[in-house]
Amino acid sequence: MFHLDKNPAVIGNVNVRIERHGDERSLAVDVTFVTSTGNTVLDHFDKELRKALFRKPKAGEQQSLPTIGEHLTEIKIPSLEPLKVGHEFKGYELQIDGELDGTQPIFLVDVKLKKFVIAPKEGGSVELSFKASANVDPDEVAELTEALIRESVVLTLQPGKANEESQQQGDLAA
């Protein structure tokens, strides 16, 4: 399943809004993140996507680094614009840490990830931008706006417990 572990990221926008559930109103946010990560993350969207965007280097081009072990490092179509991907991931846990050790982390649960944009980069990495949507309380909005002002954060995303259990049940059924 899609995940990021302590990835440096930039918060591009925090949008505060009201969600309506019948007569109930709840506070929600959409946070836009931009991060760079290895191109293996593309396998979570489609097993063929990485092969469609990257190729092995030819003779004379930079070879893959031994510590990375990734062989698809050259962009196949350099003129390709960033790709919008329609995937949505629900039920995620999100942790936002500051770059300094003294910063208190922000935790959000039951987060929906959507509006992914993928831009391949030379060397086998991708720039990934996406929105994370969650219900929050006013204190969390204040923390998120402070993170927006800092701009640079450290992002951790992982499937929530309910997501993991349903994935395990799906694996057992297969």
The percentage of residues in the chain with a pLDDT greater than 70, rounded to a whole number, is 85
pLDDT number for residue 21? 84
State mean pLDDT over 94-121. Answer: 90
pLDDT number for residue 16? 95
State mean pLDDT over 34-47. Answer: 90
Strands 83-85 vs 74-75: parallel, antiparallel or unpaired = unpaired
Letter for the amino acid at 149?
Answer: I
Task: Specify the 3-state DSSP secondary structure of 69.
Answer: coil
Q: Flag whether the pTM goes above 0.75.
A: yes
Cα–chain-centroid distance for residue 150? 19
State mean pLDDT over 26-34. Answer: 95
pLDDT number for residue 112? 96
Could you tell me which of 33, 64, 18 has the C-alpha nearest to residue 148?
33
- What average pLDDT does the chain have? 85
The residues, ordered by sequence, that sit 6+ positions from 107 with a Cβ below 8 Å of its Cβ are: 93, 94, 95
User: Are 158 and 15 within 8 A, CB to CB?
Assistant: no
